[in-house]
Structure 1
């Protein structure tokens, strides 16, 4: 008979006549090339090209590119970069929409050992210049559509990177070339059989993403190969991707590297359907013509689909999985999306955790809940991704978990391999973000008895009126239930008596008309009186390129009101 002691490194063997202890040394079993390889998402494409070389990897307008050619072109890019002296730790910045070149950069740049810096295409020249200088970009690949703002950014730089222009056949507008070479010419310098070498250390940086910088200069969030590999795998599980999905690019690839989906699709040899811009008709056409199975996007993408003219709408071939982040979709929007053929999954994350790392993992028995309870479950952000080690709601002062009562407010915090390396050249911000051994999200939330979390507000967005905490998200939820409201955001407005009170900014649906009094009366039916907005402003809400409402601009507008 063999039994084990409580000390895992010792095996206890008993015989009828003797008892002895044999020490087993596990430490002598060391890592070697046969049993350990650094994790990197680059191997996903290598495998897809080997196993499914003829399968279509990319669709862009009339372009159809298979995995063999996709892989060869990324190796050309890596080779061309290497021939220009680009290697480990060098930054290659890109200003590109969702195009084949953007996908190729997600593989070719790190294959050269370099770090990919995808820049938001809607940034102004000052912020682009800051990002290029701060990152030390040695190469800039830029689409002609953005030549005006990029050229203005380059004029701010003391040291100009190598500029490569990208001429996308699907771009029909104007724009001048800024560099001495076009992207295809640059690729022609490279070797399609380039023997790229995986990173020797999976902790090596693979990507650099700049935060929005609404309160100062942007912070550079650094991703490593290990985290990108794991989050890409997590996407496959969370979004229920089987073999050969068809993914529509409505989420900008510059945003958290497209939530790592440029790497995810290669795992299952899926097809990328590229779109330069998010418009209703091209989305419906792509979904119907190419059999799209998955897409991601902010709630604004859902609004674009649902509010499209009837002559632009087309019925999908099958149910389409729609992964959305930001605020949870209102009940009416979820119902409309389901009727239109979309199955919505709510995700939550931040740039610092590679995009989404929390999912509202649905239980089938919740489908039969009463409407109000069903909507309450849908409003929760959920539980950690399978590839995230720990997610919790902690008291930021004591760093202890708050009670799982769905009431006690705390800060949402993360631990695990899909948390960033840190902020580039910003040790103070990095130390603050990781204080106490957790990544501090800055989001306030509660935890329920089943472990699911729900956001209540950003710490900077909580409204404190007369000593009472008011969740802007709670007020927004009430506003979204109004049949005339298309989008809503609530911020604090200074008030002499109460310190601050809620101010609601509302974007109405087309051809709808309601008064501020109507909105306030509606809120009184759904909220405690002290939570109701004192001011209502009807306007088009300012949004980022990813569809997130820019509350910092609304706060400025609220402060400026008489």
Structure 2
């Protein structure tokens, strides 16, 4: 009797039953590759809804709601279309996209084709975007119609023209093909890939601002994203009787942020449904939960969840009672907001803060309901982050790399986990520094509490987190200091109800200069992205400094006062 090899299995290639180390699982039978995720679900729940695009989060009706079979077939078409374009293995595909079902499907198609997905933050200034395109040497680009105009100068500068337009918020970019037309005629079957795919292969790069004006490209393997999503699946299915009941909703940006590992992929690993909104708006978030009966909500910052619950309080038709989990990050939630959310959704709602970063999204978890006394006593002024997940070893280290174990003594959080970036693409110096001493150094400062959990103290890298975006203080300072009326500038993040942290610059004027705060903010707005631009300017005569001339930014924050 003869048998026919299944698709993707090389004829005559039998499993190695002799070698016990140095093995690589590269056959579809047992490999760990993101491109296989949707396909595996077609064998169990092919007709279940995999993803729902809320209004504005899809370009054509085909992508408004997709079953697992439909989503996998579309991803296969993406892979075939990319192969037809002649892209070689591990070629970088740039995505200038905000949330859309098409962008999610494209990610899986890129993985299936053995290529590398490179999402670009559309909020970056075009001069930065050009640097990033050069760094990764992108050879193909897919763009959102509504985002193209502001980014076009970057693509022109590097000589890369987009090939495909996702028609959200505008018309097809000149010289490109609309996404649905691009897929038309391509096979819906799984693509063949010349070189075998492996879990350790890099399939995605995401940019992080770091502390310089040139963001670093974090390299992510299939294993990283698979395990990250698997870890978050356990978090977002809490309170459900069966995990496949998960209906996971998000409206905050997740295509060009690491949030897709927490807010989209876990839905698929549970065999549940992803509910995707275009962007955050309190009313549309509340409507999505009400109409789609979402069971978990990735809300971003606590202030976003606060805005959503305010809508629920004002609109009796809004029903948040289907929610069992509210997931947030970036800062502490006040007890007042937590109480309002539980009143609106019901006592079954569990609120949880995730603390991590793009490079290491395994994260800590802090369940508010598990520690109500901490939530009440801190009143939102202390950022309790809980304990690391079992997939994450997290040590606190002093500047010499020695473990810090004393309660209340700050140390830099350092990690070991399969959910840690493989490194910074083409940046060996930054990679060596981050991975020194056999740990990944996060740049965040934490300290132990008496019960062994941790609080987040400050940021070693002076990153300003404003409106959910990372702002490099050095970049802001360099732009401000370039003004002829400025001698020196220092940028810090000051606590703010709207922004989380507002970008604030302290300025020493040049001799004889009369530059005003308004003039300087206008100067910066012309040269920086909106989220990077200073929201406040304070003039000082001099800076507090170390002996070596380093500005003591914590002193600047202190002298500005808590209400600045």
Q: For residues 506 and 362 of structure 1, do their structure 2 counterparts lie closer, same or farther at Cα, with a shift above 3 Å needed?
A: closer
SS of the equivalent of 1:391 reads strand
1:99 Cα offset (Å):
0.9
Equivalent positions of 1:117-516 (< 5 A) are 117-157=118-158, 159-168=159-168, 171=169, 174=170, 177-196=173-192, 200-212=197-209, 215-240=212-237, 242-253=243-254, 254-256=256-258, 258-296=260-298, 297-308=300-311, 310-311=314-315, 314-341=318-345, 342-353=349-360, 355-361=361-367, 364=370, 366-367=371-372, 369=373, 372-373=376-377, 379-388=383-392, 390-397=393-400, 399-405=401-407, 407-461=408-462, 506-507=496-497
CA contact (8 A) 2:394 2:415 kept: yes
Q: 1: distance between equivalents of 2:419 and 2:67?
A: 30
Change (3 A) 1:180 1:200: closer
**For residues 371 and 276 of structure 1, do their structure 2 counterparts lie closer, same or farther at Cα, with a shift above 3 Å needed?**
closer
- For the residues of structure 2 that align with 1:245 and 1:100, how far apart are their CA atoms? 18
Instruction: Verify the 8 A CA contact 1:151 1:178 in the aligned structure 2.
Output: no
The 8 Å contact of residues 358 and 382 in structure 1, kept in 2 or not, is answered as yes
Q: 1:381 to 1:251 in 2, by over 3 A?
A: same
**Matching residue of 1:55:** 48
Q: Name the CA distance, whole Å, in 2 between partners of 1:507 and 1:195.
A: 49
Q: Is the CA contact (8 Å cut-off) linking 1:395 and 1:411 kept in structure 2?
A: yes
Aligned-pair distance for 1:420?
0.3
Computing the radius of gyration from Cα coordinates, the structure with the larger value is: 1
Offset of residue 251 of structure 1: 2.9
Deviations 1:193-251 (A, max 9, x none): 13355953322101100112563111111101111111111111122352131111223
For the Cα contact (< 8 Å) 2:123–2:531, is it kept in 1? no
Q: 2-side partners of 1:206 and 1:503: how far apart?
A: 33
Q: Is the 8 A contact 1:139 1:164 kept in 2?
A: no
Any idea what SS the aligned residue of 2:286 has?
helix
Contact 1:75 1:196 in 2 (8 A): no
CA distance in structure 1 between the partners assigned to 2:182 and 2:402 by the alignment: 54
Instruction: Tell me the residue number matched to 1:545.
Output: none
CA contact 1:97–1:276 (8 Å) conserved in 2: yes
8 Å Cα contact 1:138-1:161 kept in structure 2: no
Q: What is the CA distance between 1:317 and its match in structure 2?
A: 3.4
Q: Aligned to 2:244, what secondary structure does the other structure show? A: coil
For the Cα contact (< 8 Å) 2:325–2:350, is it kept in 1? yes
| Aligned mates of 2:186, 2:47 — CA distance in 1 | 22
- TM-score, length-normalised on structure 1? 0.73
Please say if residues 72 and 193 of structure 1, whose CA atoms lie closer than 8 Å, have aligned partners that are also in contact.
yes
Q: Is the 8 A contact 1:42 1:263 kept in 2?
A: no
Residue in 1 aligned with 2:487?
Answer: none
CA drift at 1:164: 0.9
Give 1:42 deviation, angstroms: 2.8
Map Cα deviations across residues 272-327 of structure 1 (whole Å, 9 max, x no partner).
22211211111111101110111211223223213437138712232341111101
Number of residue-to-residue matches in the alignment:
458
Give the Cα–Cα distance (whole angstroms) in 2 for the partners of residues 558 and 175 of structure 1.
Answer: 43
Q: Which position in structure 1 is the counterpart of 2:109?
A: 108
Cα-to-partner distance string for 1:151-188 (whole Å, 9 max, x where unaligned): 2222211x3154211113xx3xx455143311111111
Deviation at 1:121, TM superposition (A): 2.4
The runs of 5 or more residues in structure 2 that have no matched partner are 1-16, 56-60, 466-470, 478-489, 500-520, 522-529, 543-564
Consecutive unaligned residues of structure 1, counting only runs of 5 or more, are 1-25, 463-471, 474-488, 494-499, 510-539, 541-548
Cα gap change, 1:421 to 1:313, in 2 (>3 Å) = farther
Q: CA deviation at 1:45?
A: 1.1
Give the Cα–Cα distance (whole angstroms) in 2 for the partners of residues 148 and 234 of structure 1. 38
Decide whether the 8 Å contact of 1:402 with 1:409 is kept in 2.
yes
For the 8 Å contact 1:166–1:183, the answer to whether it is kept is: yes
Give the structure 1 partner of residue 525 of structure 2. none
Deviation string, structure 1 residues 437-479 (Cα, Å, up to 9, x no partner) = 11111111112344312111012449xxxxxxxxx99xxxxxx
Aligned to 1:482: none
Q: Distance in 1 between matches of 2:341 and 2:147?
A: 33
Instruction: State the shift of 1:95 in Å.
Output: 1.4
Aligned equivalent of 1:40, options 33, 53, 57: 33
SS of alignment partner, residue 53 of structure 1? coil
Against the structure 1 CA distance between its residues 336 and 559, is the aligned structure 2 distance closer, same or farther, given a 3 Å change threshold?
Answer: farther
- Separation in 1 of the partners of 2:374 and 2:185? 63
- Between the aligned partners of 1:185 and 1:35, the Cα distance in structure 2 is 29
Change (3 A) 1:445 1:553: farther
Between the aligned partners of 1:200 and 1:315, the Cα distance in structure 2 is: 45
What's the offset of the Cα at 1:553? 3.9
Moved more, 312-321 or 450-459: 312-321
| 1:336 Cα deviation from its structure 2 partner | 2.0
Per the alignment, residue 527 of structure 1 pairs with none
Match of 1:476 in 2: none
**Counterpart of 1:155 in 2: which secondary structure?**
helix
